[in-house]
Structure 1
Amino acid sequence: MPTATEPSTSARTAAGKAGYVLAPGATRKEALAKLTEKIAASNRGILVPCAQGSVAAYLTYWLDTVAVHHLRENAHTRYTTCVNRYLIPGLGKKKLTKLTAKDIRAWLNQLRTTCQCCTRGIDARRGQPHCCAAGQCCHKLLSPLTLNYVHSVLKSALEHAVREEEIPRNVARNVRTGTPRPRRFEPLTTAESHRLRALFELALHTGLRKGERLGLRWEDLDLDAGTAAIRRTLQRTSAGGLTPLPTKTRASERRIALPTRCVQSLKLHREQQRREREAAGTTWQHSRHVFTTTQGSPIDPTNLTRAFTTLLRNAGLRRIRFHDVRHSTATLLLEQGVELVVIKELLGHAHIGVTATVYAHVRLRLQRDAIDTLSTALDSPDTTETARSNGDEPPSCDALVR
């Protein structure tokens, strides 16, 4: 086997140092083949992860050379924030091959019980500290959803390390964080008139994601047939600004039916947009989007959220997240007895399990209502009297169910 002293076996690792890289294999031939592949990657300027290096070095390599090619820009930004804020400070100094499930469990427990104002120095940067820097800890803890997300990012990184044969197994999979309870939300049932009323009505009646609504173009709509084709989502990226991107998943690319009310409001919106185009004249931007600014340019998702919050405040309605409008659609459909598979297709979830998990508490409440209704029927006076008069005869169905 080649030794560490042979120049041909050196490669630049994720830690930035040139040195011998172990290429494991069942035979000498396989080991040499793996080593040659890594040396070639190093010569092309690609950092080679070193199993003897730190967790921080591998996470940096994984973000820069692997995740960046498989994630959307916004998702990659969230992963990077998670790695730099939680993973590297907590586990970064440990050796990749020495990381154990016990280490991860202890780190997660520390995250779960540590005030973030203290750990990240948030309070110290405030103009007037009112937490740790002032001697009064507010115990601002991470939510179970955030903990679960941080754990999932670590699992993804270690899973790739297993595929690259840097470590024998993914020890993060041996740590259970529990299933986080879905975030509670209050359904929205009313909306105020607005320039973008058609957009808000479409949101409430169809449950489309914000980016999907903003990404709609007129050629996606068939108002005569009452359908809409969901082909893209509009998002802001640091590189390209407002950019149309593919839908979140393959299942998200779908065709949905539009209710009559939405078809009517979209026709009115089309006439309104025509008047705005005439008023703008040569300054009009022909983006072909259904929902635009008064100058024809696509609407920034952040500006839409801001307008929605202002609308709620002016109407005297409770403040909710824009995404809660989507939840309102699913909740109202469930309460009307619509099948879960239909709601899954309308929302564009990849799997029906996602729909069932998010709205489990709604389904449980509906089950409880149904059971209470049945109990009332079973406990009715007619049922009791029928049971007494017939002796051992079972009560009739008419007596049990009204």
Structure 2
Amino acid sequence: MGYVVDRWHLARPPEGAPECGEHKGKVASKVHGQGKRWQARYLDPTGQERTSLWRTKPEAEKEILKQESAKLDGSWVDPDRGKTKVEQVVFDIWLPATSTIERTKREYRGVMNRYLIPEWGDREVRSIRPSEAGAWQNLLTTKYELSGSTPNRTARLVRSVFRIAVIDRMIPFSPFDGIKSPTLVLPQIDPPDIDTVRRIIGEAHHDRWAAMAELDALTGLRSGEIRGLRTDNLRLLHRALDVHQQLVYEPGSGLYLDKLKTGAGRRTVPLNQRAVDLLAAYIAKYPPPGSGPWAGLIFTMPEGTPIGESTLDWAFKAMCRKAGARKYRWHDLRHHYASVLIAGGENPKVVSKRLGHTDVAFTMRVYAHLFAEAEEQTRSVLDAAWAVPAQTRGEGGRQAAAPESSQPTGREPESRAAKPSLVQLNA
């Protein structure tokens, strides 16, 4: 429990000390008459003693009660840490606490240096008001001219800085509490259908681009994941592909293999037989490097070096142009994979897992319209299956049975013969 100290008078005066001329029965201390008289003392949740000065004793006692109560209900805030500058909170507290890879932390540091530090970097974290938080979010679109999903993602990062300040007892609440986040604007996904993907693959000017495009349509890998695919990621006998790394580029470091950003990204993707045959044929025709930094890398340039993202994008755009398709991005093959799973009735949670999304809610937001289309397709299938054929009435009012050929049999149509691979490769 805390206690109050009278700074102006000695608690244990020596014998024979002269009485204070202003306060009867008291012995003056060296600081008598200097500053505020009463000092509130208490232990914070870590056991460290805290002090504050007050003009009257009731004010000091009230402060003790306030702090002890806050300790009990968990709302205690460190009054000194609230003076910490926002820039220090970002780089010394928040950034080291983020559970992500170093490359992503560098991206976060860039976001903070561009949009937060110029506005609030030298402010005390406790000084930011909710009205200022709302005004800052508006600057993202007005002053910094961000668009699409970028304002929402940027605001989410900054809001997390103040959340950790609350958790660390630097401030009692975040200035963003009660302030609505910028609207998350997601682009309308309109992936190419299977016929379009086949046409695009058919216009590849090298087996490399055709194989990569077809494999991506069958697995939904990100660009960095398929470019960083190595033979030790493959388990062809089990018809599975383990995704746990990606090829990335960084100025000053060039291309290198790095682990994925999130745990959800590390996943196992089932391979159908078509994908297994494609990979086996491609590796047989173009053996991966056997040694060096790129040993085992499946898709490389002729000299055995990795493929840059811009090179892959250039090749894919050329394929789309020759196929007479619109200007699809490589990432649209990933959307195509998702659309095929959804149209086939795959569970949203499974779709999210196959794509390596952090949570299924994100998958539902991105592909909500495709799930809606899949639901309508389900209704159409059921309506067609349960449609009652035209009926006629015979003598005596009895219904005549519908012709046998028009009744639903419940049998599935015979599967069509498997089509040859889109990529003709020599073993």
TM-score (normalizing by structure 1) = 0.67
Does residue 75 of structure 1 match 2:104? yes
- The 3 A distance-change label for structure 1 pair 256 and 26 is farther
Q: Secondary structure at the match of 2:255?
A: strand
Counterpart residue number, 2:60 = none
Which of 143, 146, 149 matches 1:145? 149
Does residue 51 of structure 1 match 2:64? no
Letter in 2 for 1:167: I
Counterpart residue number, 1:27 = 43
Q: Deviations over 1:283-319 (max 9, x none)?
A: x875211111212222233332333233323433211
- The 3 A distance-change label for structure 1 pair 319 and 372 is same
Does residue 222 of structure 1 match 2:235? yes
**Distance in 1 separating the partners of 2:278 and 2:385:** 44
- The 3 A distance-change label for structure 1 pair 221 and 51 is same
Counterpart residue number, 2:266 = 253
Does residue 346 of structure 1 match 2:354? yes
Counterpart residue number, 1:180 = 184
Letter in 1 for 2:172: P
Does residue 365 of structure 1 match 2:373? yes
Question: 2:83, 2:124 within 8 Å by CA — same for their partners in 1?
Answer: yes
**Distance in 2 separating the partners of 1:330 and 1:146:** 23
Counterpart residue number, 2:324 = 316
Question: 1:234, 1:244 within 8 Å by CA — same for their partners in 2?
Answer: yes
Question: 2:289, 2:295 within 8 Å by CA — same for their partners in 1?
Answer: no
Which of 96, 119, 126 matches 1:66? 96
Show the 5 A alignment for 1:1-400: 27=43, 30=46, 32=48, 51-62=82-93, 66=96, 70-92=99-121, 94-112=123-141, 114=142, 119=143, 141-177=145-181, 180-188=184-192, 189=194, 190=197, 191-192=201-202, 193=204, 194-196=206-208, 197-238=210-251, 240-274=253-287, 287-370=295-378
The unaligned stretches of length 5 or more in structure 1 are: 2-24, 36-48, 121-140, 390-397
Letter in 2 for 1:307: A
Question: 2:316, 2:329 within 8 Å by CA — same for their partners in 1?
Answer: no
**Distance in 1 separating the partners of 2:245 and 2:149:** 27
Q: Deviations over 1:206-263 (max 9, x none)?
A: 1112222122211222334422222322222346433322233323323222122222
Question: 1:155, 1:173 within 8 Å by CA — same for their partners in 2?
Answer: no
- The 3 A distance-change label for structure 1 pair 102 and 271 is same
Relative contact order, higher structure (CA 8 A, sep 6+): 2
Question: 1:285, 1:296 within 8 Å by CA — same for their partners in 2?
Answer: no
TM-score (normalizing by structure 2) = 0.63
**Distance in 2 separating the partners of 1:330 and 1:148:** 24
Letter in 1 for 2:372: L
**Distance in 1 separating the partners of 2:44 and 2:273:** 70
TM-superposed deviation, 1:347: 1.6
**Distance in 1 separating the partners of 2:271 and 2:125:** 52
**Distance in 2 separating the partners of 1:187 and 1:58:** 42
- The 3 A distance-change label for structure 1 pair 29 and 72 is closer
Question: 1:50, 1:58 within 8 Å by CA — same for their partners in 2?
Answer: no
Q: Deviations over 1:127-164 (max 9, x none)?
A: xxxxxxxxxxxxxx432511111111112211222233
**Distance in 1 separating the partners of 2:289 and 2:48:** 67
Aligned residues: 323
TM-superposed deviation, 1:326: 0.8
Question: 2:191, 2:335 within 8 Å by CA — same for their partners in 1?
Answer: yes
> Which structure has the highest helix share of the two?
1
